[in-house]
Amino acid sequence: MKEKDHLKIKPGIDELTGEERGEKRFLILHNDDVHSFDYVIDTLIEVCELEVVQAEQCTYLVHYKGKCDVKKGTLSYLKPYRQGLTDRGLNATID
């Protein structure tokens, strides 16, 4: 048996998942015609821990542009935020 056969070889960068590489993703809030501005603003403050001005700006962007980046981070970091938004009836994805 060769000496390097028993050594553990670290996976190459192509073998690592996006999470292991620390790949950043975005939590995206999408527009709907159901919820009021106040509801969306309050939800962003409570769930995503945004400041009032940030939540207001995001809500207007969603209304006029159709979507807005709410947070940036790894998939595991963003999942609870997405779940919190969808639990409250908002349409959110991680891209």
Per-residue confidence in pLDDT tens, the chain, 95 aa: 444 444 444 444 444 455 556 789 999 999 998 999 999 999 999 999 999 999 999 999 999 999 999 999 999 999 999 999 999 999 999 99
User: Among 65, 64, 58, which Cα is nearest to 85's?
Assistant: 58
Question: Where do the structural domains in the chain lie, given as residue ranges?
Answer: 33-95
- Contact between 83 and 93 under an 8 Å Cβ cutoff? The reply is no
pLDDT at 67: 98
The tokens of 5 are what? 């056969």
Helix 37-48 vs helix 75-87: angle between axes, to the nearest 10 degrees? 140
What span, in angstroms and rounded, lies between the C-alpha atoms of 55 and 41? Answer: 5
Neighbours of 94 (CB within 10 A): 16
pLDDT of residue 23: 87
Q: What is the pLDDT of residue 15?
A: 46
Residues across the chain: 95
pLDDT in the model for residue 39? 98
Are residues 32 and 88 in contact, defined by beta-carbon separation less than 8 angstroms?
A: no
